[in-house]
Amino acid sequence: MVSKKPICIIMCEAWTRFLDLGGWADTWFAKYGFIFNIAIRPGVLVQIKIYKRNGRKERVCITAESYGQTYLLDPDIPSYKNQDIALLEAALEIMKVPKDLYLEINIYSEMPKGAGTGTSAAVTTALIGALDRLTYGRLAPHEVAERAHKVETEILKLQCGIQDQLCSVFGGINFIEMTDYPRSIVSQIALPKEIFWELERRLLLFYLGNAHSSSEIHQLVIKRLEDSGADNPILQGLRKCACDAKDALYEGQLKKFGKIMIKNNELQRALHPQLISTKADQIFKLAQEFKAYGWDVNGAGGNGGSVTIFCSPDDSTKRKLIDVVEKMGGGIQYIPTNIPRDCLRVWQAKF
């Protein structure tokens, strides 16, 4: 029987992200690229209660608290049949859970499912970061990101860029140079406090009311980019947006930064008109009416997911915009965020 008191409790917190400029240029078919993104809370929190197994048949119990689901898993015999837990099974497999331990794993996030904010990558990095504490040695943040990326691309054979995993472990505001997929250099953008605070105050995240999902549209875009090669003019434009965004922030040019957001959004539209949904465009129209500086869809776009708005400096106007957008209905909701400056957080809970 499992003892009532765990040997220890391991915690790990990883970040989600928004405002990914240069997206689509972090993929295998892009080969190289520049990406700008910002880590945010709400992130993903993983808690592992560790017990001696003491002859118990089960080895891992995972509870996805946000969705009210619990699963019993054997790390040595992953099935990969259930898409809801395939990422978790692959993370357990790659981390080699000690056979003499029984784990109770709880995964929690306040980010809506399918928001297009890299939540699945944050789940994987947080789980790998916590599981790393069970064995000798420690993974550096970039090594956690590399393993999380391998989970999706090598074990599960999924289409996957590199930016989500990197942002989830490094936190802050990031400029990523992908030198040769999947190799990359991550530079954190250090800004004056006033600029950082303005971004944190004025960048608004809106969930569109339904989950983003890979679709036929995304497959068409991937095929088009694969056929046209790494120097496709739209990919080149997206790369330039990431570089220009970095430069604008270093210069303190916030209006310029907002215009770059809009340009990035229109380049995604040029990949395929349906990457920018009707709901997203309705919100962008309202944002323009409320004199917002910029807007952009998060992630790969398409039906569902979320958008980021860079609102005007006036705080009351910001609150009016939030109110009007939420009154659109259809499940649209404002999600309060802040920008964590820490790397992946891993620690042992204190009794």
With bands split at pLDDT 50, 70 and 90, how would you rate the model's confidence at 3?
low
Outline which parts of the chain fall under CATH 3.30.70.890. Answer: 193-335
Q: Pairing relation of β-strands 333-335 and 173-180?
A: unpaired
Outline which parts of the chain fall under CATH 3.30.230.10. Answer: 8-191
The whole-number average pLDDT for the span 306-332 is: 98
Structure confidence by residue, pLDDT tens digits, 295-308: 999 998 888 999 99
pTM to 2 decimals? 0.96
In angstroms, the CA 106 to CA 119 distance is 15
In angstroms, the CA 348 to CA 293 distance is 42
Do residues 5 and 144 make contact, with C-beta atoms less than 8 angstroms apart? no
Structure confidence by residue, pLDDT tens digits, 157-170: 988 999 999 999 99
Tell me the average pLDDT of the chain: 95
Residue 215: the pLDDT is 59
The residues near 339 (Cβ < 8 Å, ≥ 6 apart) are 38, 39, 40, 41, 171, 172, 173, 196, 199, 200
What topology does CATH give the domain 8-191?
Answer: Ribosomal Protein S5; domain 2 (3.30.230)
For 193-335, CATH number out of 3.30.70.890, 3.40.50.300, 3.40.50.970, 3.20.20.70 equals 3.30.70.890
Residue 2: the pLDDT is 52
In angstroms, the CA 336 to CA 159 distance is 29
Give the burial string for 97-117 (b: 16+ CB within 10 Å, else e).
beeeebbbbbbbbebbebbbb
Structure confidence by residue, pLDDT tens digits, 272-289: 999 999 999 999 999 999
The share of the chain scoring above pLDDT 90, in percent, equals 88
Q: Which two tokens mark 147? A: 């393993």
Residue 140: the pLDDT is 97
With bands split at pLDDT 50, 70 and 90, how would you rate the model's confidence at 212?
confident
